[in-house]
Structure 1
Amino acid sequence: MNEPNLPNPGLGGTTANDPFQAAKASAMKAAEELRAAAAQKAAELRDAAESRAQQLKSAAEQKAAALKTELTDKASDIRHYADDALEHARDTCQNFVDEAEKMAREKPRQALITAFGIGLVVGLILRR
């Protein structure tokens, strides 16, 4: 009796009904399917990550643009405030100079003594 499931030693091969070969082929096929599924899932994850990164980049750009606009507005407000303060300081200084000139014309001796006293005090302060 000749059994069909035994390997043929003369040819170095196996018979077509070898259960180990069938299991091996099935395992190889399953491994190949798993490999393909893993590659597909990796591609899906990569696409999802790229999409999310693009969304985050877009949100960051929008936030940066809004912040830039807000900072520009604040800088403009500060510039206007500084201009107003400078103008007020110029007006105050000019008023002071006008008053000093008026006093020097009306009371020259008192203006001279006052200027001498202020100069003396400033000189003493700077000497120390």
Structure 2
Amino acid sequence: MNEPSIPDLGFGSPSANDPFQAAKASAMKAAEELRAAASQKASELRGAAESRAQHLKSVAEQKASELKTDLTEKAGEIRHYADDALGQAKDKYQDLVAEAENMTREKPRQALLTAFGVGLVVGLLLRR
């Protein structure tokens, strides 16, 4: 007798001649291959990115070292210039003090009047 056939709803074992199941298996295999290829590409890209990052880091460190050296040299030049300027200012101050002492010894009245005038002008300026 003929038994009524029960349609396969995908829960049982696939029949050998079912084209849908064969296409599904083929698609699953292709998806797995794509997943593996994507994973491999991601790994390659990650390695390339890490390599590039290391290269950029080493270039940045080298540039920072060069800048530090340049800045240290410039600071030394500025320090030398400042020391020279300070030495010249000290010499000029000592010359002015010596000249003021000589003027005070040679012309005491004129020195006293000059000091009084300067004091008066400074006092008026500070009052405002």
Letter in 2 for 1:19: P
Shift of 1:10: 9.7
| 1:85 maps to amino acid | A
Deviation at 1:52, TM superposition (A): 0.8
Query: Once the 2 structures are TM-superposed, how far is the Cα of residue 41 of structure 1 from its aligned partner?
Result: 0.2
Residue of structure 2 in register with 1:125 after alignment: 125
**Residue 42 (structure 1) aligned with residue 56 (structure 2):** no
Cα distance change of structure 1 residues 105 and 19 upon mapping to structure 2, 3 Å threshold: same
Task: Name the structure 2 match of 1:107.
Answer: 107
Amino acid across the alignment from 2:47? D
RMSD: 1.9
Aligned-residue sequence identity (percent) comes to 74
- Runs of 4+ deviating beyond 6 Å: none
Q: Which residue of 2 aligns with 1:33?
A: 33
Instruction: Give the structure, 1 or 2, with the largest relative contact order (CA under 8 Å, sep 6 or more).
Output: 1
Question: Is residue 77 from structure 1 mapped to residue 66 from structure 2 by the alignment?
Answer: no
1:43 maps to amino acid: S
Listed as ranges, the gaps of 5+ residues in structure 2 are none
**In structure 1, what residue type is equivalent to 2:52?**
R
- Structure 2 CA distance for aligned equivalents of residues 14 and 112 of structure 1: 124
- Give the alignment's TM-score, normalised by structure 1: 0.84
TM-score by length of 2: 0.84
The C-alpha deviation readout for 1:2-31, integer Å capped at 9, x for no partner, is xxxxxx859943333433322222221111
The 3 A distance-change label for structure 1 pair 115 and 28 is: same
Distance 1:69 1:16 in 2: 78
Q: Which residue number corresponds to residue 97 of structure 1?
A: 97
* 1:21-74 deviations in Å (ceiling 9; x for gaps): 222222211111110000000010111111111111111111111111111111
The letter for the 2-side match of 1:88 is Q
